[in-house]
């Protein structure tokens, strides 16, 4: 114990003595490789826990409470499943607009965008490499614009008066007599949202699938033709897709995440939350509405949990379809 | 060879049978680019053309007026546009650098080290690929607040450093590096730091470039941190400025400035992607989830 104080213990050579006799042997016994591994992993694990794991857990916790930001959440007065029960039984907006909207939007833009990406990637794989690069870039470009810029572009294109390009074209062609109020009327908002999302859906998953198709071994096709495959459709279903299942799964997961992440587009297009007549209201917007506009965070957290469950279910389907069975 | 329809994937030369694909792909490619061309043309339009009715798609007298006005205008609170731009560059640069370092270190450990919870960690990360940050914006805000990050530059960076997709891609890529290479380096006395910087890093450059692009696209275009975590106007980002521009300026004059700002925002995206395109495709061929 004396050794800990370097000025008192002269015999052991002070602090250096302590270091040599106690710390060094202890340090030598430690598995350096383990320490190093831990150091390598620590930053990611800490950040991952703080900003991904904890928020999900907190959302689950908050969803059982009443929390309005000003007072701390009242865990003592646990609401139990009250918020969930309210959502399912009392929240008319959620049941009539938000949930059907979200499902419609997600089913069309998720699997739809995914199928579109695969089709485009497959067609691109059928042409030469140089034009392919340019066309792939053209298809990928919309996905890198980001929500803000996409919102700006389509807000001006679909602007509700005659200065909007789509309206100008329609008026010019005589399709309509008065400009259509695309973004504020509620009749068209959902379709425009789906259109814009599909337009920007060829992102990283698309690139992954393109690489996957290009990597399929040529000999597989030759063998398949000898075995009696007749046309390209059979070729796609029997050879191409089974040979690139990992990329297909990656693409699917990215498509699902993309579809739910792009949920802000309705608000970006119409410029208001809630969107006009709740036409483009998705769960993501509903969460923002309750969380950051009405400050009913407990309720918003319950909505978040429902959204996460929906995403998880969608992903499970993707894993079922494309996951390797033998894992 | 030509009798095999299937062997025409990734053809080396042109053949008539490819024409049908060009017929479909060229119009679609053009269509995808139209809104982008629109922004470009809008950004160079003088005021007279922006007000023109009926509106014309292409600019006839290009001018840099919109850019000049963009640089002159300050936001409603008096912060000049250049300030937001500078903030964005610093934030994006730091985020990319740190993300690459963290992802590389973790990817190496997950791929080449042996420890008990390895498989579990990777499958947790794989589940997190489906994580949609906007769904848990509120608890995230609470975490950021309790860490005392609110209203600081760090609030733009730290919450976004853990990137499950990035780790996933890098780990898959490091799996391709033969273990013998690392064993040989270890015999020569290399420690983990040397192995990462001298062997793994250079070998997985394509994956790192892909991580850089993804991280860039996310941070550069993100308004979340400026909207929620940061109050001080001088600490907000260009993407945020861009979103206020479009919200406030309904008139055609504002549209011109917004288009110019949009172009300023878009060009770096495009340049970085074009430069690194080959790397991205390389990474993607290893990117599958097994």
This prediction has a pTM of 0.84
The residue of chain A nearest to residue B218, with distances taken between CA atoms, is A146
Arithmetic mean of pLDDT, B250-254: 61
Local confidence pLDDT in tens for the 327 residues of chain A:
444 454 444 555 577 777 777 777 877 777 778 888 899 999 999 999 999 999 999 888 888 877 776 666 655 466 677 888 888 888 888 888 888 998 889 888 888 889 999 999 999 998 888 889 899 999 999 988 877 788 888 888 887 776 677 887 888 787 877 778 888 877 888 899 999 999 988 888 898 899 888 888 888 888 888 888 878 888 888 888 888 888 888 888 888 888 877 777 888 888 777 888 888 888 888 888 888 888 888 888 888 898 888 888 888 888 888 776 543
Show the tokens assigned to B21.
């694909």
B55-74 pLDDT, tens digit per residue, is 777 888 888 888 888 887 76
Nearest to A240 by CA among A89, A98, A125: A125
Task: Tell the burial category of B122 from Cβ atoms under 10 Å away from its Cβ (0-12, 13-18, 19+).
Answer: middle
Contact A247, B223 (CB under 8 A): no
Q: How far is CA A254 from CA A48, A216, A251, A314, B15, in A?
A: 19, 21, 5, 11, 34
pLDDT at B74 (0 to 100): 64
Residue A9: what are its φ and ψ, rounded to 5°?
Answer: -85, 90
Tell me which residue in A214, A261, A323 faces B132 most closely, judged by beta carbons: A261
B32 interaction partners in chain A (CB closer than 8 Å): 138-139, 141-142, 199, 202
Contact B21, A127 (CB under 8 A): yes
Nearest to B195 by CA among B210, B182, B180: B182
Q: For A92-322, which CATH class? A: mainly alpha
Q: How far is CA A179 from CA A172, A176, A271, A279, B34, in A?
A: 11, 7, 19, 19, 22
A138 interaction partners in chain B (CB closer than 8 Å): 29-30, 32-33
A317 interaction partners in chain B (CB closer than 8 Å): none
Q: Do B6 and A235 touch (CB under 8 A)?
A: yes
Of A110, A147, A149, which to mutate for an interface test with B (greatest number of B Cβ within 10 Å)? A149
Tell me which residue in A144, A244, A312 faces B269 most closely, judged by beta carbons: A144
Arithmetic mean of pLDDT, B106-127: 90
Q: To 5 degrees, how large is the angle CA A138–CA A270–CA B55?
A: 60
**DSSP 8-state class, residue B160:** G
- Answer whether A210 touches B (CB < 8 Å): yes
B136-146 pLDDT, tens digit per residue, is 888 888 899 99
Domains, in order of start, for chain B: 71-284 (1.10.3720.10)
pLDDT at A96 (0 to 100): 86
pLDDT at A151 (0 to 100): 83
Distance of CA B129 to the CA centre of its chain: 16
Residue A119: what are its φ and ψ, rounded to 5°?
Answer: -60, -45
C-alpha R_g of chain A: 28
B225-244 pLDDT, tens digit per residue, is 888 899 888 899 998 888 87
Query: What 3 state SS string does chain A have?
Result: CHHHCCCCCCCCCHHHHHHHHHHHHHHHHCCHHHHHHHHHHHHHHHHHHHHHHHHHHHHHHHCCCCCCCCCCCCCCCCCCCHHHHHHHHCCHHHHHHHHHHHHHHHHHHHHHHHHHHHHHHHHHHCCCHHHHHHHHHHHHHHHHCHHHHHHHHHHHHCCCCCCCHHHHHHHHHCCCCCCCCCCCCCCCHHHHHHHHHHHCCCCHHHHHHHHHHHHCCHHHHHHHHHCCCCCHHHHHHHHHHHHCHHHHHHHHHHHHHHHHHHHHHHHHHHCCCCCHHHCCCCHHHHHHHHHHHCCCHHHHHHHHHHHHHHHHHHHHHHHHHHCCCCC
Tell me which residue in B21, B130, B259 faces A256 most closely, judged by beta carbons: B130
Q: What is the dihedral of CA A211, A217, A218, A223, to 10 degrees?
A: -140
Domain range summary for chain A, segments of one domain joined by +: 18-62, 92-322
Find residue B26's DSSP bridge partners.
none
């Amino acid at each position: 114990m004396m050794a800990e104080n370097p000025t008192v213990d002269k015999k052991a050579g002070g602090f250096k003595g302590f270091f040599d006799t106690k710390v060094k042997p202890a340090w030598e016994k430690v598995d350096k490789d383990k320490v190093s591994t831990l150091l390598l992993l620590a930053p990611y694990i800490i950040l991952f826990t703080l900003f991904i794991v904890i928020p999900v857990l907190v959302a689950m916790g908050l969803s059982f409470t009443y929390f309005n930001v000003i007072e701390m959440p009242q865990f003592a007065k646990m609401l139990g499943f009250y918020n969930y029960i309210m959502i399912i039984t009392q929240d008319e907006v959620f049941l009539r607009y938000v949930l059907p909207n979200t499902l419609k939007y997600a089913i069309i833009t998720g699997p739809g965008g995914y199928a579109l990406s695969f089709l485009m990637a497959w067609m691109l794989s059928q042409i030469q490499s140089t034009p392919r690069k340019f066309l792939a870039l053209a298809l990928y470009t919309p996905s890198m614009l980001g929500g803000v810029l996409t919102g700006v572009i389509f807000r001006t294109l679909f602007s509700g008066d005659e200065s909007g390009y789509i309206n100008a074209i329609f008026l010019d062609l005589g399709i309509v007599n008065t400009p259509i109020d695309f973004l504020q009327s509620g009749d068209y908002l959902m379709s425009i949202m789906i259109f814009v999302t599909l337009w920007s859906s060829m992102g990283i998953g698309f690139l992954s699938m393109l690489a996957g198709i290009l990597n399929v071994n040529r000999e597989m096709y030759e063998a398949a033709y000898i075995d009696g495959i007749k046309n390209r459709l059979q070729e796609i279903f029997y050879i191409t897709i089974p040979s690139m299942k990992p990329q297909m799964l990656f693409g699917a997961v990215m498509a699902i995440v993309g579809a739910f992440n792009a949920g802000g587009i309705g608000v970006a297009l119409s410029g208001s939350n809630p969107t006009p007549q709740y036409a483009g209201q998705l769960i993501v917007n509903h969460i923002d509405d309750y969380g950051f506009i009405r400050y009913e965070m407990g309720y918003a957290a319950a909505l978040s949990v429902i959204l996460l469950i929906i995403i998880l279910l969608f992903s499970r389907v993707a894993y079922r379809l494309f996951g390797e069975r033998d894992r | 060879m030509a009798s095999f329809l299937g062997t025409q994937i990734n053809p080396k030369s042109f053949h008539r049978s490819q024409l049908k694909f060009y017929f479909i792909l060229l119009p679609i490619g053009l269509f995808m680019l139209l809104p982008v061309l629109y922004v470009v043309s809008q950004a160079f339009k003088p005021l007279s053309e922006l007000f023109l009715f009926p509106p014309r798609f292409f600019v006839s007298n290009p001018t840099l007026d919109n850019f000049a006005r963009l640089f002159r205008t300050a936001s409603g609170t008096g912060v000049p546009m250049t300030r937001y731009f500078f903030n964005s560059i610093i934030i994006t640069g730091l985020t990319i650098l740190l993300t690459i370092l963290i992802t590389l270190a973790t990817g190496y450990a997950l791929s080449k080290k042996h420890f008990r919870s390895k498989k579990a960690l990777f499958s947790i990360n794989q589940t997190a690929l489906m994580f949609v940050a906007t769904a848990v914006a509120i608890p995230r805000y609470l975490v950021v607040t309790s860490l005392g990050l609110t209203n600081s530059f760090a609030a733009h960076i730290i919450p976004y450093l853990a990137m499950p997709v990035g780790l996933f891609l890098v780990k898959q890529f490091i799996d391709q590096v033969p273990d013998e290479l690392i064993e040989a380096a270890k015999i020569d006395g290399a420690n983990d730091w040397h192995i990462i910087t001298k062997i793994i890093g250079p070998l997985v450059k394509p994956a790192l470039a892909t991580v850089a692009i993804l991280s860039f696209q996310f941070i550069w275009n993100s308004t979340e941190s400026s909207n929620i975590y940061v109050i001080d106007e001088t600490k907000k980002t260009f993407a945020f400025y861009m979103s206020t521009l479009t919200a406030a300026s309904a008139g055609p004059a504002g549209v011109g400035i917004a288009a110019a700002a949009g172009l300023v925002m878009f060009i770096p995206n495009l340049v970085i992607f074009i430069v690194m395109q080959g790397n991205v495709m390389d990474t993607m061929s290893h990117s599958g989830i097994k």
